[in-house]
A and B are shown apart, each in its own frame.
Chain A
């Protein structure tokens, strides 16, 4: 198999990296600092858009330094365990190079650990990867390189990445630089390419050198010359637009047409764009008048977005988009500009962080709702605050909740604001279990005492609904048997609550 041109002409040394001389020099200096012991920043963070030479630079650096290289990219499994097993083990031990050399760290023989596409860590498939990476940054005794397209995807998850790494930004090479590279490759491949065609291909790639080389190869396939007409047929590469570009177009460049286009072409829905604008506009529009106008435009856009979801008429998106781009840019009358970096919407990160808690609250409310014959919304708004007070002060109620509503330790803990393995929760469960056992042994007197307060018919319905509606995985068998007997006092708690 012959390599494609991107592989064949991939620079082997940092000197061959085009367009980013500063980045290459910084990398080199950092690598050399390892010769005098572990440096302060044990990891590099290479940031930049695709196809501009980040991975190539990392590999070239290892080659220049005579280091081995251990690479993990998105095609490897990257759970926390996998990272520990490969990168983690690699980071603490000396190494053997591919060419059969033993590389001793104290003698300058190291290995570069490269985590490519480190921003593409996905939920379950890459579980535990982030803590593993953080630990790696802190403890590694071998040089580490993290490579990302989207820096914020990583730094917002991890302070270690922000503080413990030396950040190097890779810029897109200019069209002229790209054209120069293409020209060399064409000459080496004995393909005649007209200068206009070179410029065309280079411009079309928008700084993505890898894409430009691919384009050149596809145009030259089976031919000896490439004309500008052939180059014209290249379809324009759709640039990946994201929210940072949108923020830049709205707040920094004040270019409404470009902003509108970015929003139109982006995969992100207007609702998300609205959150982004909402987060950033107070920092960008400093003048009070600007701020008021900006807020007005944004709230008007929000009204349209609300109508979209209520009426399911997506035509309103157009109005919202116009208000968020043209409207927001027009809101600025003063010429004060900010140079802060754009912020990720706090609402989104808070929602992500509170997901577990919200899930738990949802489960708790559902159990209580089924038990009390009411809606979860009602439980959340009307019952939960009072029930919390009751449960915190009265252990009896905790026990009733465990036995009647079948709360799990987690849920009870959440309700009374204690850890699920705290002593209060444990005691409540112990007592509840003991009472249940007692109830099984002598059911008659208990039943009489409690049922006296409520209508027997209702208690039966409650009992019938509960076991069906609630999956109770950890419930012991005797509890199931005792289900019907103690279910009556359900009403008692309910009455108490609504009496309040």
Chain B
């Protein structure tokens, strides 16, 4: 059983973030929270989201699983205005999810979840951690685009740096420690990541969010942030590029 009401903005935020990686996703639902884990088809990036019951306007559920086609969900979201609430209800008999937005009812057939395995989330310890406003990151991405297809993230005790170097041009964004919300870096660390993944996720994060960027030398980056007024936790992993050998 699953019945919940959620603000359309919250759902939109979640769906757009997940859809940067996968087209179909399995939600695992429990009485306390809704969660999902997904890895992209190229096995380069991974995401884990836990949405607590408090992120919803109302929430009632027993343990169950729901498989959703995210493109369809996006089309439903287009029906909702920013201030609307969306009611979701799982029709187990028919294998459908029912969305109600104002007077609109949309019944959506679900995706079979039996072949969808939850990836395990890696346990990684990263030495540096930077708390930075998403707006800064988005600025950096905009500067880096069309220069190269990869981007370097760098942290040292004095600040955080995004840089991108192409064959002829380069761009970088340096945020000094004073403009960061927090910084923990004992030494200088830096890694190179595929820009398209990084830019997709950064663009999908709603404005005003503070992101905890955890880094190390030539190692995956972990982005931690909260959505829905702090009630939804998102953890995103991105593997670095292979440096030339």
Contacts and interface: CB of A to CB of B under 8 A. Distances in A.
Interface in A65-95: 68, 70, 85-87, 89-90, 92-95
Q: Kindly state the interface size class of chain A when it binds its partner.
A: 20 to 34
Contact of B41 (A1, A70, A96): A70
Interface in A81-138: 85-87, 89-90, 92-102, 104-106, 111
A86 B44 CA distance: 9
A364 B117 CA distance: 56
A37 B43 contact: no
A141 B237 CA distance: 20
A461 interface: no
Nearest to B114: A1
Given A86-B41, A111-B43, A94 B119 contact: no
Nearest to B119: A98
B141 to A, nearest CB: 17
B42 A101 contact: no
Interface in B94-126: 114, 117, 119-124
A94 B41 CA distance: 13
A230 B103 CA distance: 63
A109 B89 CA distance: 43
B46 interface: yes
Question: Which of B44, B117, B243 is packed against the most chain A CB atoms within 10 Å?
Answer: B44
Given A86-B41, A90-B42, A96 B245 contact: no
A142 interface: yes
A427 interface: no
Contacts of A96: 39, 43-46, 119, 122, 220, 237, 239
A93 B240 contact: yes
B242 A89 contact: no
Interface in A5-46: 37-38
A98 B42 contact: no
B195 to A, nearest CB: 11
B42 A86 contact: yes
A92 B245 CA distance: 12
Interface string A294-337: 00000000000000000000000000000000000000000000
A90 B44 CA distance: 6
B32 interface: no
Contacts of B219: 102, 104
Contacts of B231: none
Nearest to A36: B245
B238 to A, nearest CB: 8
B133 interface: no
A101 B196 CA distance: 23
Contacts of A142: 242
A101 B122 CA distance: 5
B218 interface: yes
A99 B44 CA distance: 14
Given A37-B245, A106-B218, A106-B245, A95 B43 contact: yes
B54 interface: no
Contacts of B122: 96, 100-102
Contacts of B240: 93-94
Contacts of A37: 245
B241 interface: yes
B120 A141 contact: no
A150 B42 CA distance: 26
A70 B242 contact: no
Contacts of A85: 41-42
Given A89-B194, A94-B220, A100 B123 contact: yes
B104 to A, nearest CB: 31
B117 A98 contact: yes
A419 B188 CA distance: 54
Contact of A89 (B121, B196, B243): B196
Contacts of A92: 194, 241-242
A444 to B, nearest CB: 54
Contact of B42 (A38, A93, A99): A93
12 contacts: A89-B194, A93-B239, A93-B241, A94-B242, A96-B43, A97-B43, A98-B117, A102-B124, A102-B239, A106-B242, A106-B243, A111-B43
Interface of A: 1, 37-38, 68, 70, 85-87, 89-90, 92-102, 104-106, 111, 141-142
Interface of B: 39, 41-46, 114, 117, 119-124, 193-194, 196-197, 218-220, 237, 239-243, 245
Given A93-B241, A100-B119, 13 more contacts: A1-B114, A85-B41, A89-B194, A90-B42, A92-B241, A93-B194, A94-B44, A94-B240, A96-B220, A104-B218, A106-B242, A111-B43, A141-B245
Q: What 9 A-B pairs have minimum CB-CB distances, sorted nearest first?
A: A100-B120, A90-B42, A94-B239, A141-B242, A93-B44, A37-B245, A89-B42, A105-B242, A95-B43
